[in-house]
Amino acid sequence: MNLTYEILWFEDATDWAKPLVREIKSFVEEMGFIFSKPRFERNNSNIDTINYEEYDLILMDYNLSGTEKGDVLISKIREHDFFSEIVFYSADGAPTLRKAVLNKGLDGVYCADRQRDSFLPKVQEVIKVTIKKVLDLNNLRGIVMAETSDIDEKMLEIISLYASLLGSEKKGRFLENRRKKCIKSTEDKLKKLNSANLNEYYYNFLFDANQKWMTVVDIVKKTIPERELIIKLYDSEILKIRNVLAHVKEIKDETGKIQLVYEDYIFNEQTSKEILNSIKKHEENINAILSFLKNNP
């Protein structure tokens, strides 16, 4: 799983499902993830061609019109070596489904009544289960690194696009100014590196995302000042957190649960959600900046 939460939904009554999609979307986003519109399948016509690895959760109706029962479809899905969670639901009630699941020996299947007050809480409960696997703190480290690398690339695109929109003279001044600032920053780091204690010098980073971020800040000031506040927060909310994640240590609390700790910062489930929400916010801001530059040459 990455930051986008993907659902595969076997349901032929999409009018019934649409109001539930809105509530599931709100829940997924509250957990710190990006909600992707579910892929709906009305029958078994694509059962053998779907790439199940793309999906974090499957919702399966027991009674689909003109096709096999849901327990049969789940059995066929499991034949593809896909073992992520499935919510199995029906107007016939959860006890009926549990018998079908037991008879076919299906694993990782959660049963719910089709009624909203049974179905929706069960889906939310299972989403929590799937997300907790991702919020395992070592998985979180990988997500943050991957997502922020994507943002780095988009920042480079912003810089390149902005420079291309300037006239030749202005472009030269802009790039030369940024180069001077980059050189000064590097020289300052080199001075610190030369004077640093041998036991501490390796904490000095000469190449990181900081220069990209500072350049984009300058561009935003000149082009979209209303976005300056958010882009300035990128340093404290993303860059510093990413650097901390690169140096955290694993410790076990009194219950034996692993935590990631760096100085006085503790990464737990709550801070994980906060980090993911920050990434979403900054990705949206970066995409908006890119869109503005592309549409206002």
Q: Which two tokens stand for residue 141?
A: 């480290």
**Domain end point (choices 134, 155, 187):** 134
pLDDT on residue 225: 93
Q: Are residues 144 and 66 in the same domain?
A: no
- Looking up residue 64, the CATH number of its domain turns out to be 3.40.50.2300
Q: Which two tokens stand for residue 291?
A: 């869109």
Q: Are residues 85 and 141 in the same domain?
A: no
Distance (Å, rounded) from C-alpha 212 to C-alpha 206? 13
DSSP secondary structure string, 239-284? Answer: IHHHHHHTT-EEEE-TTS-EEEEETTEEE-HHHHHHHHHHHHHHHH
Q: Which ranges of the chain have pLDDT less than 50?
A: 204, 207
Distance (Å, rounded) from C-alpha 236 to C-alpha 229? 12
Q: Are residues 259 and 125 in the same domain?
A: no
Q: Is 44 exposed, middle or buried (0-12, 13-18, 19+ CB in 10 A)?
A: middle
Burial 257-291 (b: 16+ CB within 10 A, else e): eeebbeeeeebebebbbebbbbbbebbebbeebbe
Q: Are residues 128 and 12 in the same domain?
A: yes
Q: Which two tokens stand for residue 183?
A: 């050189």
Q: Are residues 95 and 157 in the same domain?
A: no
Q: Which two tokens stand for residue 27?
A: 């829940």
Whether residue 178 is contained in a domain is answered as no
Q: Are residues 64 and 121 in the same domain?
A: yes
Q: Are residues 145 and 100 in the same domain?
A: no
Distance (Å, rounded) from C-alpha 270 to C-alpha 88? 29
pLDDT on residue 207: 45
pLDDT on residue 94: 87
For residue 26, the enclosing domain spans 4-134
Whether residue 76 is contained in a domain is answered as yes
Please state the domain count of the chain. Answer: 2
**Local structure of 189: helix, strand or coil:** helix
Between the CA of residue 219 and those of 98, 149, 178, 211, 249, what are the distances in Å?
A: 59, 20, 11, 12, 37
Q: Are residues 113 and 147 in the same domain?
A: no
pLDDT on residue 4: 87
pLDDT on residue 118: 87
DSSP secondary structure string, 7-25? Answer: EEEE-S-HHHHHHHHHHHH
CA angle 239, 25, 70 (to 5 degrees): 125
Q: Are residues 67 and 149 in the same domain?
A: no
Q: Are residues 26 and 73 in the same domain?
A: yes
Distance (Å, rounded) from C-alpha 136 to C-alpha 15? 36
Q: Are residues 87 and 26 in the same domain?
A: yes
Q: Are residues 110 and 122 in the same domain?
A: yes
pLDDT on residue 138: 59
